[in-house]
Amino acid sequence: MEAATNFKTPCKQDRVKRGSGGSLGTPSSMVIPASPFMQKLGCGTGVNVYLMKRTDKEFQSPWAIKKINSKCAKTQVQVYQKRLDEEAKILKNIQHPNIVGFRAFATAKDGSKCLAMEFGGEQSLNDLIEKRREEGKKAFPAATIQEVALHVARGLKYLHNEKRLLHGDIKSCNVVIKGDFETIKICDVGVSLKLDENMKVNDPKARYIGTEPWKPKEALEEGVITDKSDIFAYGLTLWEMMTLCVPHLDLLECDSEEDDSFDEADFDEDAYYEALGTRPALNMEELDESYQQVIELFSVCTNEDLKKRPSAAQIVEVLEAVMQEPSK
């Protein structure tokens, strides 16, 4: 299997001098504006992400700035700060065109730590899914799903094989898109876990965090976590693009064009928890024969038996052959 050592994300490292402003190479002259002066792009657990537009001659491309949500409870700030510190350290050593690149780790005017990243795109895949559902559309075209599948798989192959890292939270929210799928990048490596030479997480203190609807059976049952845990969540991300829904939340009635509201009283909590870690159903009547390969990929990736799931490298090999693209 071809190594991915030739994958590079431009980082302008010659312009960001190590040691000039911090242990992670933040230039001392860089100023992060206060949150109200930046456009909010999104949010996650305990953090917000902002768009920082830079207008000086040396730096022209915008950055995505991740910082702790000021409304977090004080007892949680330290937890989220530690996670942000870890993400900065991990991201600094990652260079791949399908993973957002590290730019700097700095302190904003309000004293909060900020992780500056490559601006991967205006919208997450989840944003596009929600927009498509609101417009009353159905599944993304099969070719688009295959394109996303290939690029995300390339990013996972790099993380697993080259960096021995489990992403740990693959889902549509953590895939960012620029333009009309011009670039497709994985983001949010803050809960990554180290993999050993057998692609297993062996640290007894390590905990798979993930996001509940995308968790594989082994994570829910405190089983052995491997690279295949990312593959299960990856399969569910393809399912999201075919259904425009969140996995296992069937009672949201995602296919309803008349009422997008959700009555909590009608939610079958027992059925939801029983379904977690399993392969959700597809409405095959809505998917024509062009989706056959995507459906097959989704199915094999979401096998409850992790040993029967493919590796990211195997997925890349198959998709490149199917899509007749040259190896990267």
Query: Could you write out the DSSP letters of every residue in 1-30?
Result: ----TT------TTTS-TTSSSTT---TT-
pLDDT band at 8 (very low <50, low <70, confident <90, very high): very low
Name the nearest CA neighbour of 121 among 101, 141, 149, 94.
101
For residue 59, name the pLDDT band (cuts at 50, 70, 90).
low
328: three-class secondary structure by DSSP: coil
Among this protein's residues, is 169 annotated catalytic? yes
Confidence at residue 312, expressed as pLDDT on a 0 to 100 scale: 98
Determine how β-strand 123-124 pairs with β-strand 175-178. Answer: antiparallel
Residue 286 has pLDDT above 80, yes or no: yes
Q: Is residue 280 over pLDDT 90? A: yes
The 10s digit of each residue's pLDDT in 102-119 is 888 887 777 778 888 888
Catalytic residue among 110, 169, 255, 266: 169
Lowest mean pLDDT among 106-110, 231-235, 268-272: 106-110
Tell me if the pTM is above 0.85: no
Average pLDDT over the chain reads: 82
Question: What residues contact residue 241 under an 8 Å CB cut-off, 6+ apart?
Answer: 125, 129, 139, 140, 144, 145, 148, 172
Least confident of 150-154, 200-204, 266-270: 266-270
The pLDDT value given to residue 21 = 37
Question: Could you tell me the residue ranges of all domains in the chain?
Answer: 35-118, 123-255+266-324
Place of tokens 């992400």: 49
234-258 mean pLDDT: 80
Where does the pLDDT of residue 62 fall: very low under 50, low under 70, confident under 90, or very high at 90 and above? confident
What's the CATH number for 123-255+266-324?
1.10.510.10
Does the pLDDT at position 150 exceed 90? yes
123-255+266-324: same fold as 35-118? no
Q: Give the CATH superfamily of 35-118.
A: Phosphorylase Kinase; domain 1 (3.30.200.20)
pLDDT-based confidence at 83, cuts 50/70/90? confident
